[in-house]
Each structure stands twice: as C-alpha cells, then as structure tokens.
Structure 1
C-alpha cells in the first residue's frame, strides 16, 4: 500500500499545499513550527478519520477559515483509492472513499493500516490506564472489525448504565431490574472483549521483546502484563457485587473499561525505574511490535510515520531504527526532522529511494 499524493486545504497551518510522494522514504525537514508534524497528522487523519494530536476536530481547521479538506490518493493491491476527510464548522465530519461517504466511520478503520511513532507516545508510560487501553484497542481494531464493533457497543451501553445510575441518584430512587438489562449486555460483550485482549497480549509479547532487544542492544529484562478484573471473575458477578459502590459513585466501577497493561523493567514499573533511554526504547519497541502485528494480521504493510524521532533519540538508536527500515519488511515511511543534513545522512545509509521536502 502506497500513499501517492496528499492535498491539504485549510488544514492546521496550511492554506493550500500538495505533495507527490516517493514509494519508500519521505522526509519533511524545516524549523520547529513550520508544519512538519501537521503533514504527518494529515496522513494519520486519512487512516483514522481523526487527528493523532488534537481530538477536538474543529481545532484542526486553519484559523480564520470555515472548513478543512485532507485528500489522499493511494495505490493498494493494484487498485487506486481516493480518501477524503473534510469538516465544516457546525457540521459533521465526512469521510469519503472513492467519492462515496461512509455511513459509519468505524467501517473505515483498518482499511489503511498505519503506525505512528511520536514524542507524544510517552503518555503510554506516564499517563493513566486509558492511554494503554487505547493502544491495545487501536492495534486489535485495525485488523478485527468484530472486536471494534463489540467495543463500540460496550461503550454505548456503559454510558447508558452510568446515566441511569446518575438518574437514580438525582431522583432518589432505584430499580435493580432496570440495571439488570445493562448488566447482561455488558457481561456478554465484556467477556468477548476480555478474551480478545488476552489472546492479543499473549501473541504481542514475544514480538515486543524481539523489537526491544534489537533497538536497545541490551540484555535487560522487560515485560508486559495484562491487568483485568475479569482475569479472576466474570463481569456478571463483579457488577452484582459492586452495585452498592456503583450507586454511591454514580458510575460503573468494574469492567473491561478498567483494564490496563503493566509496563515493567526487571520487576518494577518502567515509569519509575526506567532511564530515559530505556523508556524511549520501550515505546519504540511497542510501536514497531504494533507494526509487525498489524502487518501479520491484516496482510497489508502499514504506513509508518516517524515524528521528530531524531531529536528524541540518541544516534545509535536512530541508526538501529533506520537499519530496520532497510529491511524489505517495511513499506512506505514518512519522517519529520529539524535538520536536513542529519536526515539526508541517515536516509542515504538506507538502500531505498527517498524524497526530502524542505518546508
């Protein structure tokens, strides 16, 4: 799968800009604030229908304008594919594939597999469990439509159950039968999601460990561990045993929406005991393992975006990553950097064709 060209209109800091891309390596260089990351985000937008960096859709419209359009032309399995993502203020976002609008955005997820490695990924280590659940869900959903559908349904029912708990509190009333309807649906969906996550982590760990060893060139022990309340008890029993707590809190305190992954170095959390270099290697190994997993599951080589990676990593780690890109297992690559000479030197060591865009 290749992104052949990209057209931006009123997207972030760009009023109108077009790019024709190399089928292997594409580099965007220029000073900070010029829009390098915004181009990568536009490519991400085409795969996921949303920004990687700003979840508020309207804030991706250029200041002073009323709409944005991101337009990409792809070659996939000998077919030409045109994807357009557009948003007008006060209207719903539209995603079109070959001039036909998607009724549900979720139908587009996984069609253009993509992995991004960015300084923002540090949130996976430093922030709460929500970030790590999103990571798991993002990897599985790109190759498993049923999982994504179950996840959407679960979150919808969870919201309805939480609204009912809040209603009971506000009205000073309670109806256990009304909650049971939601409990049954959450239990069924939660069990399916939990099983998929469990199987995924088991398959993902050896891929991650292989990548970490290759990047870090160290023998230190790192590990991932899936933490879920459903590991020891069914959601049906958990919901019943926590009903009084849920009444007080006015939200659902148990379920797969509380799952987490423990990220460890040795026997300790990497957040507290890992050096900066170890944390960076850990994150990149996670993302490259994500790349390998999606490729093996979907049968399509994902596009890989490397945002500001040269400024955030030491030279040895960058060389190892570039060396991996030299492997034919990688497809199309997009890189952003502040130094043209550094980027050109790095990509010249890769025996692949490349294009450098000076912004």
Structure 2
C-alpha cells in the first residue's frame, strides 16, 4: 500500500497543500516547527483516524479555523485504488469516508491502510507508566485483529461499569450485579490477555534480531509481557480482590494493569539503557511491528520515520536506512531538519528518493535524488530500483 496523493486543508499549521509522492522514499526537511511532523501526522491520521501525538481533534485544527480536511489516494499492493477522506468540524465532529461512503463506525476503517510510525514521542514507551505501553499494544493489535478491537472496547466498558458500582456500595442488588460484571470482565479480559501474550511472543525474537543489526551485535535485549493472568485465572484474581476493590472503590486487578517489559543485558531498559540504546530498542520494536502488520494485512504498511536522527548516531541511522531500503519495506516518509546530512546518507544507500522543503507549514516543490539512469520520475508513482 502506498499513498499517491495527499490533500491537506487547515490541519495544524498547514493552511493547504496538495502533494504527490514516490512509492518508495519521501523526505520532508526544514527547521524545527516548520510543519514536517504535521505532514507525517496527516498521513498517520488518514490511517488511524487520530493524531499520532497526544492531541485532540480540536487541537489539530489550524488556529483561527473551524475545521480541517485530509484526503488521501492510495494504491494497494494488488493495484486497487482507495480514496480516504477524514474531516473534523468543531461544531459537527469527525467523519471518515472510504471511496465516497461514510463509515458507520470509525473502528471499521482501522487496518485498511496499515501504518507504523517511529518518532521522538516513542520515548514515552520507555520512560512513562505502563498505560502508555498498553495503549501501544492496543493500537497495534487493533490494526491486526478485529476480534481484539471488539474485546478491548467491551472490556473497558464493563470495567467502567464495575468501577462505578464499586463507588456505590449501597446500590440495590449490587452483589448480584457485581457477579454478572465479573463474568463479563473475565470473558473479555481473557481474550485481551491471550492475544497480547501471543503478539509479544511473536514480536520478541524479531525485536531482538532488528536490535542486533542496528547495534552491530553489541548488546542483547529482551521483550516480555507481564500480566497477573499469566499466573492465575482471572476469575480467581477477581474473587480474591473483591473486598480490596470495595475498600479502594476501583478494580485493582485485571488486564488494565498489564505491562510490556523491556530489558537490556538482563536489566530494565529504563534504568540501564542509554538514550541511544533506548531509541534503538524502540526502532527495533517498530520494525518488528511492521513485519507482523505486513504479514497480517497482506499489504506493506506505510513507514513514518519522524525526526530520524533523534538520539541515534550516524552508524545506527545508516544501518536503519539499509534495513528499510530492502524489498521487505514499502513506502517510507522521513523527516529531518538537516538536508545535507539526510541526503548524504540516502546517497550512500543508493536508494532513490524525493525531497520536499517545508517552511511555515508550506511544502515546497519536490526534488529528486539518488536516481539511477533511466528511472522514471516519481511524480507518476513509479520508480525503477
């Protein structure tokens, strides 16, 4: 799957843009705050119906405007054209259309255009609390598995009902209702736990392999899934915690407390990993995610590399470019503030690319680079390799 054309109106600091892209490497360069990340985020929004950053839809509207509009035209690996339009209006909310037909549920769109993003915001997966890592697992699995998306939505709904009941101990029939809610929580929670565990078991060896390549085999890392449900049935955990839950007035056990654990050399990555090691781990995680997403969807996801050089040395960046230049990967978007630095690495890789300068939310005409004799201009969506 690759994005052929993108139209942006009043999204963040971009007043308007109509862009055409290469099916391989596309680069945005410009100063900090120019709008490079916003263009990448527009690509992410068209896939996931939300920003990749912790921003509401209202915050994504350009200052002084009432709405934004994003439109993308895609070509699938099988040659099928897909047109996706995402719009948001402060007074009317969000709409998403596929080939002119509006979705009844936004969740039905997730997975149509698979996307994987590597950005400085990923640092939260290491430094922040476990809810960030659960949010990552939820977003990833929701692209791969409709049943998982249903299960996590249902689980969170039942969990909310259970917590409200725990805050009302005098509720008539509360004990019987709590029994019913616990049965539902167990049903959906066990599905969530099983699918998360299976995913991490598939991810772990691939993350380790990508990290080995990026680090030139200098360190060993581990990825594992921690859950109370790994040790005891969920029904037993809920029964044992009921009195504690009554006192606390919220649910103290369940998959909403699970975590994704990251280690380097046998020690927690957060405490013992350098910034470069942490970033390399996260890049390896996202590349492994890409591989699983491609296998599940039967389509190569779009890969977004935002602020490519953030906390990575030149050697690791060059290793990364070599990796993603291979046939396993498809369309790639890269942002960087240093045009000369980015071009020098891409030229050494031999990978054809197009480059756009972004200034004040305005992308300037594309430049082509790394092109081999006889290659077709990327404006028609084809490139020789």
TM over 0.5: yes
What's 2:337 paired with?
338
Give the Cα–Cα distance (whole angstroms) in 1 for the partners of residues 194 and 348 of structure 2.
Answer: 43
Point out where structure 2 has 5 or more consecutive residues left out of the alignment. 359-385
What's 1:27 paired with?
27
Give the Cα–Cα distance (whole angstroms) in 2 for the partners of residues 16 and 54 of structure 1.
Answer: 23
Give the Cα–Cα distance (whole angstroms) in 1 for the partners of residues 209 and 82 of structure 2.
Answer: 34
What's 2:106 paired with?
105
**Structure 1 residue 313, shift from structure 2 partner:** 1.4
Give the Cα–Cα distance (whole angstroms) in 1 for the partners of residues 172 and 109 of structure 2.
Answer: 42
Give the Cα–Cα distance (whole angstroms) in 2 for the partners of residues 262 and 310 of structure 1.
Answer: 25
**Structure 1 residue 90, shift from structure 2 partner:** 2.8
**Structure 1 residue 91, shift from structure 2 partner:** 2.1
1:187–1:236 CA contact under 8 A, matched in 2: yes
What's 2:311 paired with?
312
SS at match of 1:22: coil
SS at match of 1:84: strand
SS at match of 1:310: coil
What's 1:47 paired with?
47
What's 1:356 paired with?
355
**Structure 1 residue 136, shift from structure 2 partner:** 1.9
Give the Cα–Cα distance (whole angstroms) in 1 for the partners of residues 163 and 101 of structure 2.
Answer: 36
Runs of 4+ in 1 over 3 A off after TM superposition: 171-174
1:186-225 equivalences under 5 Å are 186-225=185-224
What's 2:132 paired with?
131
Would you say 1:119 and 2:120 are equivalent positions? yes
User: Normalized against structure 2, the TM-score is what?
Assistant: 0.90
**Structure 1 residue 231, shift from structure 2 partner:** 0.6
Give the Cα–Cα distance (whole angstroms) in 2 for the partners of residues 349 and 23 of structure 1.
Answer: 20
Give the Cα–Cα distance (whole angstroms) in 2 for the partners of residues 295 and 71 of structure 1.
Answer: 23
Give the Cα–Cα distance (whole angstroms) in 2 for the partners of residues 325 and 227 of structure 1.
Answer: 30
User: Normalized against structure 1, the TM-score is what?
Assistant: 0.96
Give the Cα–Cα distance (whole angstroms) in 2 for the partners of residues 182 and 142 of structure 1.
Answer: 27
Give the Cα–Cα distance (whole angstroms) in 2 for the partners of residues 340 and 202 of structure 1.
Answer: 39
Give the Cα–Cα distance (whole angstroms) in 2 for the partners of residues 114 and 172 of structure 1.
Answer: 45
Point out where structure 1 has 5 or more consecutive residues left out of the alignment. none
SS at match of 1:142: helix
What's 2:274 paired with?
275
What's 1:88 paired with?
89
**Structure 1 residue 106, shift from structure 2 partner:** 1.0
What's 1:164 paired with?
165
1:22–1:353 CA contact under 8 A, matched in 2: no
More helix by share: 1
**Structure 1 residue 39, shift from structure 2 partner:** 0.3
**Structure 1 residue 56, shift from structure 2 partner:** 1.3
Give the Cα–Cα distance (whole angstroms) in 2 for the partners of residues 98 and 353 of structure 1.
Answer: 31
Give the Cα–Cα distance (whole angstroms) in 2 for the partners of residues 275 and 174 of structure 1.
Answer: 54
Seen in structure 2, the aligned counterparts of structure 1 residues 322 and 188 have a Cα distance that, compared at 3 Å, is same
**Structure 1 residue 54, shift from structure 2 partner:** 3.0
**Structure 1 residue 226, shift from structure 2 partner:** 1.1
2:276–2:311 CA contact under 8 A, matched in 1: no
**Structure 1 residue 135, shift from structure 2 partner:** 1.9
Give the Cα–Cα distance (whole angstroms) in 1 for the partners of residues 357 and 240 of structure 2.
Answer: 60
Give the Cα–Cα distance (whole angstroms) in 2 for the partners of residues 255 and 323 of structure 1.
Answer: 42
Deviations 1:136-159 (A, max 9, x none): 222222121111111111111111
What's 1:38 paired with?
38
**Structure 1 residue 266, shift from structure 2 partner:** 1.9
SS at match of 2:111: coil
Give the Cα–Cα distance (whole angstroms) in 1 for the partners of residues 241 and 45 of structure 2.
Answer: 40
**Structure 1 residue 167, shift from structure 2 partner:** 2.9
2:49–2:96 CA contact under 8 A, matched in 1: yes
Deviations 1:97-147 (A, max 9, x none): 111111111111111111000011000000011111122222222121111
**Structure 1 residue 351, shift from structure 2 partner:** 3.3
Deviations 1:83-103 (A, max 9, x none): 111110032211111111111
**Structure 1 residue 173, shift from structure 2 partner:** 7.1
**Structure 1 residue 218, shift from structure 2 partner:** 2.8
Give the Cα–Cα distance (whole angstroms) in 1 for the partners of residues 156 and 323 of structure 2.
Answer: 38
* C-alpha RMSD of matched pairs (Å): 1.4
